[in-house]
Structure 1
Amino acid sequence: MSEINRAAVAHLARLAHIEMTAEELDKMAGELDVIVDSIKSVQEVARPEVPATSHPIPLTNVFREDVVGETLSQELALANAPDAADGRFKVPAILDEE
């Protein structure tokens, strides 16, 4: 017997203020029923002796080492800037404040 039927989907659609055609209700009921069946099959496999996992492959540290690499000098960084002042990029003001 289906867990999700057309009447249940119509009720939820009314609660969510979603207008659905008869075809959409039938299609959604079928799709939601497949999802519920899939969850049931996963629940059947989930047993206390089976440890929960967040990732199928054990991972260690996936981050690279935090090592300072080659950096630009202030002069080199500002070399192609359209406008600079006091060792900084100069950009147009975005607020009407003085």
Structure 2
Amino acid sequence: MAKELYVGNLSYETTEEDLRRLFSVAGVVTSVHIITDPVTGKSKGCAYVRMSTVEETKEAIVSLDEALMGERIISVSEARPKKERAVPAKRGKGKQRHSY
């Protein structure tokens, strides 16, 4: 098990400090990364939280998965390594072929 957690269904107003405060009940939070839209800079409603030990990671999942944060029920799970995450589809114009 890794030390990194995926946190979903966050309010778009959630801050790093909010997450640090919440996850500190399970142990020492070493980093928080809120996922934002690269164009607008606004939160996408999810984040990655890294705990200092595997035991603290497990405790965070047990105590915080489906917990109420503000008005939302958040999901907390072990983060998958990058190679296991889905690769986004390429978007672009490419060559357009038309038959007239």
Q: Shorter-chain-normalised TM-score: which range?
A: under 0.3
Bigger proportion of residues as helix: 1
With normalisation by structure 2, the TM-score equals: 0.23
Question: RCO higher in 1 or 2 (8 Å CA, sep ≥ 6)?
Answer: 2
With normalisation by structure 1, the TM-score equals: 0.23
